[in-house]
Every structure is written in C-alpha cells, then in structure tokens.
Amino acid sequence: MGAIAVFSFFAVQSEVFRSPRGIANWLDPASTLGIMAVGVALLMIGGHFDLSAGVMTGTTALTVGIVAVEFRQNLWVAIGVALVVALAIGFFNGWLVTRTKLPSFIITLGTFLMLQGLNLGLTKLFTDTVTVGGIDDVPGYTAAEWVFASRLEILGAPIRVAVLWWLLFTALATWVLLRTRFGNWIFATGGDEVAARNVGVPARRTTIALFMTTAAAAWFVGTTLAVRLTSVQANTGIGQELIYIVAAVIGGCLLTGGFGSAVGAALGALIFGMTQLGIPYLRWDADWFYFFLGAMLLLAVLANRLVRRSAEAAPR
Amino acid sequence: MAAPKRLLALALAAPLLLSACTTDSAGDGGDGGSGGSGGGAGAEGDLVFSVVTHGSAGDAFWDVVQNGAEAAGEDLGIDVDYQSDGDPQRQAQLIDAAVNQDVDGIVVSMANPDALQGSIEDAVEAGIPVVTINSGGGRSTEFGAIGHVGQDEAIAGQGAGRRLAEDGAQNVLCVIHEAGNIGLEQRCAGAAEGLGGGISTVQVDINDLPGAQSTIASQLQTDPSIDAVLALNSAVAAVAVDAAQDAGSDAQVATFDLNADVISGIQAGDIAFAVDQQQFEQGYLPVVMLKLYVENLNTVGGGQPVLTGPAIVDAENVDEIADLATAGTR
C-alpha cells in the first residue's frame, strides 16, 4: 500500500520515473537494499537486531578485493573466502548473543565497531591506501560479473541482475517462513523464547542460524558491490544497517520480534529505492533529501498501519 | 471506521499537496522556465545540466561548488541541477538517473573513478557530454569525458609540503578527518613529497571536533618535536589551533580549504596559510565548458586537466579574500 502511494506520487509527476529505463534505475538501489532487508527481517522476526550488517557488506567486499588483488587469487576463491568470513562473523554474533543473553543490540554494536576498525586497518595494511581496486583484472571476473553485476534487457530497460536475486531471495525467505518447520521456529523464538523452548524449539540454534543468514546476505551484497564497482572503499556500508532495519519496519516487522514478513521488507526496500531516485527525478533541492525521505517513510508506515487496522477490523 | 478513512485520505493526499508546492518552486528555479517539473529535461531548447558530486549534504566545501555551478547557470541562462551522495554506488545511480532524464550535459566529481566508470561511459555512449571535476583527473579522458576541472590532490599536497618546508617545518603532523577517504591520504602523501619526508598522520573524526582537538593535543604532547600541523579541513584547522595551545606547543598550523574561522585565524596569525583549491571554479567552469561544447563543439584543456589550485592564502592576501569567503564563493 505504502509502496503504491510512493510510486504513484513520483510517477504522476515524472515521466522518466515511470519509463522502463527509469524503473530499472530505481530498482537498482532497491535490489541490494532489499536483499539485506529480507535477511534483517528474518532476524528481526526471530527477535534480534544486527547492527553489524551494514559494515559487514564492506568487510566482505574488501575481503573479496584483498584476497583477489593482493593475494592474486581467482575471484571465485576470494568470493568463497569472503563467504567463510561472513558466516564466521554471523556465527560469532549469534553464539555470543545466545551464550551471554545480552541484548543483540550491544553485541552487534561491538562487532560493528570492531569490523569498522578492521576494515580500515587491514585495508591499509595490505594496500597502503584506503581502497582496493583493480578487481576487474583478476581471473574469474567475467563469470563473476555475469552472476553478480550483469544487466538484462527487459522491455528495453537494462535491469540489473541483482533485481532477480532480490526477487528470488524474497520468495525463498517467504517460503521458509510460511511453509517450513524452520519458519515456525523463527516466529516462535521471536515471539517468546522461553515458551518456544518449552515446546521443543531449538531456539539457540535458530538464533545462530538467523545471524548467519543475515551475514550471508551481507556477503552477497558485498560481493555484488566489489564485482560491480571493481574498487572498494574501506568505509563502505557504514550507516546502512539502520536503513535495513527501517526497510524491515516499513514492511511490517515489529521491533519486538515475532511478527513480520519477507515480502514486507522487500516492499520497504522498494519504497526506499523509489524515494532515493524519485527526488532527483523531480529535481528537488538535494539539501532537503533526508527531510523528504523521512516524510515519505513516516507516511508509508502510517498508511500501512491504517490499512492493516481496517483489514483487521473488517471481518469482526 | 470514519476516522481511519479520513486519516488515510489525508495520508494519501499529503504527497499530492506537497507536490503542488514543489512544482511552483521548480518553476521559479529555472529562469523563464520550461513549464514546471513535469516534462523535465530538454524541453524547448533550454539547456539542462546535471551536477553529481560525492560531497555529503551540508559540507561547507561542496556548498561552494554548488554555488559556483548555480551561479554559472544563472549567468548563462542554463538550468543546473545539483545532486550529491558520498557513497560511490549511490553516486553512480544518480548519474544513471541524469542519463535517463536525457540532460544536455553532466558534471561528475570523481573521488572513486572505478566505481563511476560504468555510469560515466553509459552517459558518453548516450551522447551526453561529461566534464569531470575535483579528483580523478587522470582517468577522465579514458572514460570519454570532454574535460576535467580540478585540483589534483597529490599536487595540492605537494604545494602544502613545499610551503611548509619554506617555513622551516621538519616534523609535520597530517590530520586525516575522514577514515577511508582516498583523497585525504593522497594529500598527506603529496605533502610528504613536497616536504621531503618527516610526515606522520593521525586520524580524527570530522563529526567529533572536541575529540579531534584532544587527539591532536595528545599527539603534540607525546612528540614535542612536531613543529607543524597540517589540517585537511577548515573546521579541523580551528580545533588544531586550540589543540596546540592546550598542549603548550609552538607548532604552526596550516590547512586545506577556507572558511570564516580559517580566515580570521590567518588574520590573527594563528594559522600560517591555507591551501585553497578555489572549488567555486570547479562548479562554474564545467558549466561554461559544457555550454561551449554543446553549442560550438569546443573543448578546454586539450586532454589535460584544468587545475584550479593549489592557490595559497596567507597573511599577504587574506584580507582581499575574506569578504568573498563570507559570500560563499571562495
């Protein structure tokens, strides 16, 4: 609903916004954000946050770059190493949260800061500067580009392949949530962990798996960044974690866990993508960008809430 | 039931109302305009240029670039649209958006050329002339841009280093205020070259100036042989002066870029000099270059970057420049 409102708002005023090329344009930021938002939404339904998710996209992108360029490995080896690194970080987050019972907010804030420092420190150590470049000169690049960064002509619009991945991951997450036992565990763990445990849900394993899922999403997005931009800055991804959470919240995830959907998070990302490029399409003063972004988000959340309420009220 | 419906209607109507207001202001912006924002670019012969930089919103440096571009637009009767995003991927997406709008020319700042390569080449392929500004001059021609206006960060750093050497500095502390910004690293490296060695770097956070001040002070206390502090940002320069006082150090302070504090600091003798890259020109000149190209197929620079700096502002010329800086053009 919110997504339709935002779309019609921009589409009415800008011809380019609703043209196929324009749509391809704003689907692009929505797609990478959407992949992360879906992962973050699963974790939030399971009752936790991951503040390190944003910087982790930087960590994985830098890992891909450093292993491929500085250690002269095939790009696919580098991508594999980055996956291992991501899963390890996700496991670390999840394990620490379930072990210590500390709020995931605190644990992942610690991871966030550590990764931020590691990203900068290690990048400078290996490259003597703050970026890793030349990823497109590495063997394996052509195939990796095809998988992560190619463009498909659909109705004359060059759609980024990340959009397809986004749809695929959203569908996969929805299926897991609604049709599998693991999906039930996620809802149960996020709803009431103690009660879930009492009925035999392996809450700890579920939580760790969710943190690793989020990390895997960060790996996918980080790899996409590295392959597409061919050079990665050490400050990549910082601050994005809040945007992922906001997208999930717009999509109906509760901050307290136990409720939400992957499709909602994907739509939240869509709203973000449309707003991010809709504003330049309308040629508004860029200084006001964040104000409009915030206003759009509030409107979208309010509209969602109203629709949900009247939908809930109707059958009674 | 009635109340939620009314609220919903309001929520949906609000954007439309908002848009009504903005259509007006867009009309004001484009002198003798192309009839509102609806059709957008390229209507009825009016030239529309897009400026896409990597400055973050509210950055004093980039405000001057924006002022330059808009002043040129006003002087030449061109509709100039300024957008910016510090994230390379989002900057690339803004360039894509400008290409889709079929603007008549694009100005791009290139902090991270690799990340922008695809989008710039797409623009060139679509027949839109591109001028690159600020850093990245070395790659400009390769991407198909018609010219580059900027200050090479390394050359600017060398200028600062040479001046520091002339002033007798031997052990310089270079203050990096944004972790992971390649341009700042290049300035410090350039300064080391110009000085002939003797540079150490320290990292601070531009969003935490009090913290920056204590960090610089602690460095000066730990190493009393530091005889100069090179700030890479005018706000950092101001706290560096205070930090030197806190630490009881005689180190002189020099900086990149101007603002009111730096100018009064130079006037008061607290700041030795500022490296001014005259970024107003980086906004103004590309608009002129694009107009010349679109209307007359002229190019400027002959494949070489047009350098806007480094110009040095010190006690000798600071008074002339003071008023201009207050007006946001220096």
pLDDT tens digits along A174-212: 999 999 999 999 999 998 888 999 888 999 999 999 999
**Span B229-254, average pLDDT:** 92
Give the sign of the dihedral formed by CA A189, CA A192, CA A194, CA A198: negative
- Nearest-5° angle of CA A166, CA A155, CA A172? 20
Three-state SS letters, A138-205 = CCCHHHHHHHHHCEEEECCEEEEHHHHHHHHHHHHHHHHHHHCHHHHHHHHHHHCHHHHHHCCCCHHH
pLDDT of residue A314: 62
Residue A1 has pLDDT above 80, yes or no: no
Residue B21 has pLDDT above 90, yes or no: no
Chain A residue with minimum CA distance to B6: A306
Alpha-carbon gap, residue A20 to B158, rounded angstroms: 48
- What is the pTM for the complete model shown? 0.82
Q: Which two tokens stand for residue A74?
A: 């095939």
- Alpha helix segments (H runs only) across A14-52: 15-18, 20-45
**Residue B300: in which H helix or E strand, if any?**
none
Q: What are the Cα distances from residue A215, in Å, to A50, A201, B184, B188?
A: 9, 22, 31, 35
List CB contacts (< 8 A) between B58 and chain A.
Answer: 287
Can you give the length of chain A in residues? 316
Alpha-carbon gap, residue A24 to A29, rounded angstroms: 10
Task: Show which of residues 120-149 on chain A sit within 8 Å of chain B, judged by CB atoms.
Answer: 120, 123, 129-131, 133-134
Q: What type of residue sits at position B234?
A: S
Q: Under an 8 A CB cutoff, do B90 and A133 touch? A: no
Q: Smallest Cβ distance to B15: which of A9, A32, A131?
A: A9
**Which of A99-108, A291-300, B153-162, B312-321 has the lowest average pLDDT?**
A291-300
pLDDT of residue B325: 81
Q: Quick one: DSSP state of residue B270?
A: S
Alpha-carbon gap, residue A148 to B36, rounded angstroms: 39
Residue B42 contacts residue B48 (beta carbons within 8 Å)? yes
pLDDT of residue A89: 97
Q: Under an 8 A CB cutoff, do A5 and B15 touch? A: yes
Chain B residue with minimum CA distance to A314: B1
- Alpha helix segments (H runs only) across chain B: 2-29, 60-76, 88-100, 113-125, 153-166, 182-195, 209-222, 234-246, 260-268, 279-296, 318-326
Residue A14 has pLDDT above 80, yes or no: yes
List CB contacts (< 8 A) between A228 and chain B.
Answer: 89, 118
Q: Which two tokens stand for residue A305?
A: 């809430």
List CB contacts (< 8 A) between A294 and chain B.
Answer: none
How close, in Å, is residue B268 to chain A by CA atoms?
33
For the segment B188-220, what is each residue's pLDDT rounded down to a tens digit?
Answer: 999 999 998 889 999 898 878 888 999 999 999
Which band of pLDDT confidence, cut at 50, 70 and 90, is reported for residue B281?
A: very high
More confident residue, A301 or A114: A114
Alpha-carbon gap, residue B228 to B169, rounded angstroms: 6
List CB contacts (< 8 A) between A130 and chain B.
Answer: 179-182, 185
Residue B239 contacts residue B216 (beta carbons within 8 Å)? yes
For the segment B148-171, what is each residue's pLDDT rounded down to a tens digit?
Answer: 998 888 889 999 999 999 999 999
How close, in Å, is residue B56 to chain A by CA atoms?
10
More confident residue, B44 or A283: A283
Alpha-carbon gap, residue B67 to B72, rounded angstroms: 9
How close, in Å, is residue A136 to chain B by CA atoms?
10
List CB contacts (< 8 A) between B34 and chain A.
Answer: none
Alpha-carbon gap, residue B97 to A29, rounded angstroms: 12
**Span A134-158, average pLDDT:** 90
What is the interface pTM, i.e. ipTM, of the complex?
A: 0.84
Inter-chain CB pairs, A–B, below 8 Å? 137
Q: Smallest Cβ distance to A310: which of B4, B38, B113?
A: B4
Q: Smallest Cβ distance to B37: which of A13, A25, A236?
A: A13
Q: Under an 8 A CB cutoff, do A229 and B81 touch? A: no
How close, in Å, is residue A103 to chain B by CA atoms?
27
- Best mutation target among B8, B102, B181 (most A Cβ atoms within 10 Å) is B8
**Which of A280-284, A304-308, B64-68, B321-325 has the lowest average pLDDT?**
A304-308
Alpha-carbon gap, residue A97 to A106, rounded angstroms: 9
Neighbours of A102 (CB within 10 A): 11
- Using a pLDDT cut of 90, give the percent of chain B over it: 59
- What mean pLDDT is reported for chain A? 90
Can you give the length of chain B in residues? 330
List CB contacts (< 8 A) between B4 and chain A.
Answer: 306, 309-310
Q: What is the DSSP string of A80-138?
A: HHHHHHHHHHHHHHHHHHHHH---HHHHHHHHHHHHHHHHHHHHHHHHSSSEE--GGGS
Q: Under an 8 A CB cutoff, do B8 and A307 touch? A: yes
Residue A283 contacts residue B73 (beta carbons within 8 Å)? no
Residue with tokens 């803004």, as numbered in its chain: B94
pLDDT of residue A315: 54
Alpha-carbon gap, residue B305 to B137, rounded angstroms: 6
Q: Under an 8 A CB cutoff, do A229 and B88 touch? A: yes
Note whether A182 contacts B: Cβ–Cβ < 8 A.
Answer: no
For the segment B258-276, what is each residue's pLDDT rounded down to a tens digit?
Answer: 888 899 999 999 999 999 9
Chain B residue with minimum CA distance to A280: B83
Which band of pLDDT confidence, cut at 50, 70 and 90, is reported for residue B44?
A: very low
Q: Smallest Cβ distance to B93: which of A28, A133, A310?
A: A28
pLDDT of residue B83: 93
For the segment A33-60, what is each residue's pLDDT rounded down to a tens digit?
Answer: 999 999 999 999 999 999 999 999 999 9
Q: Under an 8 A CB cutoff, do A129 and B90 touch? A: no
Chain A residue with minimum CA distance to B101: A16
**Which of A106-110, B73-77, B87-91 has the lowest average pLDDT?**
B87-91
Residue B40 has pLDDT above 50, yes or no: no
Alpha-carbon gap, residue B56 to A291, rounded angstroms: 15
List CB contacts (< 8 A) between B97 and chain A.
Answer: 16, 22, 25, 277, 280-281
Residue B310: asked if its preceding bond is cis (omega within 30°), the reply is yes
More confident residue, B51 or B59: B51
How close, in Å, is residue A286 to chain B by CA atoms?
6
Q: Under an 8 A CB cutoff, do A14 and B4 touch? A: no
pLDDT of residue A302: 81
Q: What type of residue sits at position A266?
A: A
Alpha-carbon gap, residue A300 to A6, rounded angstroms: 8
Q: What is the DSSP string of B61-106?
A: HHHHHHHHHHHHHHHHT-EEEEEE-SSHHHHHHHHHHHHHTT-SEE
- Best mutation target among A59, A151, A229, A238 (most B Cβ atoms within 10 Å) is A229
Alpha-carbon gap, residue A138 to A115, rounded angstroms: 25
Q: A119: number of CA atoms within 13 Å, CB side?
A: 30
Q: Which two tokens stand for residue A11?
A: 């589409």
Residue B173 contacts residue B146 (beta carbons within 8 Å)? no
Q: Under an 8 A CB cutoff, do B83 and A286 touch? A: yes
Chain B residue with minimum CA distance to A149: B118
- Best mutation target among B100, B153, B178, B205 (most A Cβ atoms within 10 Å) is B100
Q: Which two tokens stand for residue B318?
A: 């600071």
Q: Smallest Cβ distance to B12: which of A5, A233, A234?
A: A5
**Span A275-283, average pLDDT:** 86
pLDDT of residue B45: 59
Instruction: Calculate Rg over the CA atoms of chain B.
Output: 22
Residue A256 has pLDDT above 70, yes or no: yes
Chain A residue with minimum CA distance to B5: A306
Q: B151: number of CA atoms within 13 Å, CB side?
A: 29
Residue A217 has pLDDT above 60, yes or no: yes
pLDDT of residue B128: 97
- Using a pLDDT cut of 70, give the percent of chain A over it: 98
List CB contacts (< 8 A) between B113 and chain A.
Answer: 231
pLDDT of residue B157: 93
Residue B82 contacts residue A286 (beta carbons within 8 Å)? yes
Note whether A265 contacts B: Cβ–Cβ < 8 A.
Answer: no
Residue B86 has pLDDT above 60, yes or no: yes
**Span B53-68, average pLDDT:** 86
Cβ neighbours of residue B176 closer than 8 Å, sequence gap 6 or more? B184, B185, B188, B201, B202, B203, B204, B232
List CB contacts (< 8 A) between B181 and chain A.
Answer: 130, 233, 235
Q: Smallest Cβ distance to A286: which of B29, B84, B117?
A: B84
- What mean pLDDT is reported for chain B? 85
Residue B133 has pLDDT above 90, yes or no: yes
More confident residue, B86 or B33: B86
Which band of pLDDT confidence, cut at 50, 70 and 90, is reported for residue B37?
A: very low
